[in-house]
Structure 1
Amino acid sequence: MEHLCSINGQPCQPDKTLGCCRAPFGSLQPDQIKGLNLRDFKLLHKQAYKPRTYILVNNKVKASLILNLSSADLTIIRVTLYDGKNIIVASGYLPYEVTDPGRDLTMLFNYCKNEKLELILVMDANAHHTIWGSSNINQREEVIMDLLLTTDLSILNRGSEPTFVIRIRQEVIDLTVCSKGLLQKIKGWKVSSEPSLCDHRHLRFTFEINKVETEYYRNPKRTNWDNYRADLSRDLNILQFRLGSRQSTERAVNMLQDSIVSAYKENCPFIERKGTGQCVAWWNANLSKLRKSSRKLLNKAMKSGLEQHCESYKDA
């Protein structure tokens, strides 16, 4: 599995890539990995025997490995965005032989919740479920779905294009999820058609980040009116108005207007407009109701396991 995340729709190039997540490389050590140009990138992973997850990050991206949470099968990094906000990006592998695949994920989810950090998680889950495009449902999905239902994470997988392809079998076992606060910023999730040179296909998506533009305004209540009157009086004493013709009158009006505006701007400085929180204008009560209804359908589908309930959830 290879997840490639680009910034603002640009391809994964050294000066434009937010980061690339790759997992797993099987039992290879980092110095045995071939075909990666690390000149402009750094390879982050836990120093362990035969690590199976890595995250490839552009050198221009401010990112650091969270050692105490990472393992050979789960690489977790903290990424600082343009606006100074931190998010968590994690690359995971849930091997078949692990009896409790949700242990490390639970620690990750709790960490993000306690630290109030939003998450992008990409993983080779080895779990089947029709909700994320698999052809069937296996027992491992119960652990994964139970965990996801306790969080605000949303599944980014779209369609049923296989992410794992071998000669005798094709299936969707790779999963991409993110916090709801990042859902509107992640665009174009897809299974790439380009050759991956392994049995897992490339999964691509774009993480759209708008650089913060500071907005300024003037508040008339904060105008220094004493200085305003003094500056305006000084300018008017200098100006010479000649009223007689229509053109001279219009010229005098323009000079007076310019003096008023100039005195006001000099004594009412710009103020930086502060943010108003993370509320969005398009959210409303009806959307909240629909979200609650779809969550109920998902719970019902998970409890019953019936195909008709799964279809009802997908239709919603």
Structure 2
Amino acid sequence: MKVSQIDLQHCKAASAIHSQSLAVKQTDISVIQEPWINKGLVSGLDRRIGVLVCEKGAAGLGPRAAVFIKGRQQALRLSQFCSRDLAAAMIKLKRKKDGTIDRVVCSAYLSCDSVEPPPTEELINLVRYCADKGLHLVVGCDVNSRRTVWGSSDTNKRGTALLEYLSSVELDILNKGSRSTFITSHKQKVINLPLCNHRLLELISDWWVQEEHTLLDHRRITFSLAAKAGLESTGIRRNPRATVWSSDKQELGWRLQGPCSHLSSASVVESEVIHLQSSIIQAFEAAYPAKPKVNKSKVPWWHGELGKFGPSSRKLLNRALRTNKDTDWAAYTAAQKEYN
């Protein structure tokens, strides 16, 4: 399973490029910070090929964290943890042979304007929930914090507080080396961190900071998430109109048979809700098995000019990084603004 992480800096053109990448490349999950916002809502992502998990921002500001998952039957939004700066979903992945495996994927934006040191209370609660339930957890963070441990050139108080927390809950940092994830004319920093709990670390590979141009100061991070057993391909689809609903009702009745637990506490209610949601999804999948899908989606934001712009803008960035001259950085910044 291919995962990508990127901070889109609320940029429309960058969202177009990212949407194009999702449609063309075999990316299963995209963890996004600062998505492009239009009228208070996340925009620029093609929801025909996947599901978007995020919270509507306060006062129409829009969310600063989102998760985009390909395949509409895979994601369960964890509403109790979602906020403007955090989006979380439980992904149900089918094994090829038998059973399913649950994983929680989260996008977190740790604002540098926050009075309290990172992490946020919402992220702390999510990490605790996954630890209590024994769930695998992947977190994509824009930490806005500096610590030499993850490749920064220096350390600040936010970075120290965050590192102490990560160590206390056994969250591992996936970054390798000191490849910068944020590049401008004045600084090159590592502030974008993918994290995972310790039980998942051995299943993650191919971490990399991509060099492809994104029209952003932030770079795209990618990595692969394997499973102990093979997973069902994500290139599939189901047509609800072709579902045999009588079979669906029979399957659902079989899964829900037996007495309901006494709803004596919030945790019991939560468990029953998850059981009901899982039963509905499993009954539907049994009534109409998935079929292979050929992705012919077109990205509405993509056009020829953006395609031509990528190589030329990348050349300007390479020249600026090589010479570090103000004139070269100004030329690169002007090229960015032209398409933003």
Pick the TM interval, shorter chain: 0.5 to 0.7
Structure 1 counterpart of 2:230, one-letter code: K
| Cα distance in structure 1, aligned partners of 2:180 and 2:73 | 31
Structure 2 counterpart of 1:48, one-letter code: G
Corresponding position of 2:49: 40
Cα gap change, 1:144 to 1:28, in 2 (>3 Å): farther
| Cα distance in structure 2, aligned partners of 1:127 and 1:158 | 17
Equivalent runs, 1:182-261 vs 2, <5 Å: 182-209=200-227, 210-211=229-230
2:172 corresponds, among 151, 154, 161, to 154
1:94 corresponds, among 96, 104, 110, to 110
Asked which structure has the greater CA Rg, the reply is: 1
| Cα distance in structure 2, aligned partners of 1:207 and 1:55 | 16
Structure 1 counterpart of 2:43, one-letter code: I
CA deviations on 1:168-225 (whole Å, 9 max, x unpaired) are 2211011111112211211111110011222211001111233279xxxxxxxxxxxx
CA deviations on 1:28-68 (whole Å, 9 max, x unpaired) are 5575633x333211211012332111111102561111111
Q: Does 1:3 align with 2:5?
A: yes
Q: Does 1:19 align with 2:29?
A: yes
Cα gap change, 1:15 to 1:141, in 2 (>3 Å): closer
| Cα distance in structure 2, aligned partners of 1:211 and 1:61 | 18
How far did 1:104 drift?
Answer: 2.2
Tell me which moved more, 59-68 or 182-191. Answer: 59-68
Cα gap change, 1:202 to 1:15, in 2 (>3 Å): closer
Deviation >4 Å, runs of 4+:
11-16, 26-32
CA contact (8 A) 2:41 2:56 kept: no
| Cα distance in structure 2, aligned partners of 1:195 and 1:211 | 33
- Structure 2 unaligned spans of 5+: 7-20, 233-340
Kindly tell me the number of residue pairs found equivalent between the two proteins: 205
| Cα distance in structure 1, aligned partners of 2:73 and 2:202 | 21
CA contact (8 A) 1:74 1:93 kept: yes
| Cα distance in structure 2, aligned partners of 1:115 and 1:95 | 28
- Structure 1 unaligned spans of 5+: 5-10, 214-316
Q: Does 1:77 align with 2:96?
A: no
Give the structure-2-normalised TM-score.
0.56
Q: How large is the RMSD of aligned CA atoms in angstroms?
A: 2.4
Tell me which moved more, 46-55 or 70-79. Answer: 46-55
Identity percentage of aligned residues: 28
Flag the structure with more relative contact order, 1 or 2, with Cα contacts below 8 A and sequence separation at least 6: 2
2:183 corresponds, among 165, 175, 194, to 165
Corresponding position of 2:159: 141
| Cα distance in structure 1, aligned partners of 2:151 and 2:90 | 29
CA deviations on 1:82-104 (whole Å, 9 max, x unpaired) are 23121111000011111223222
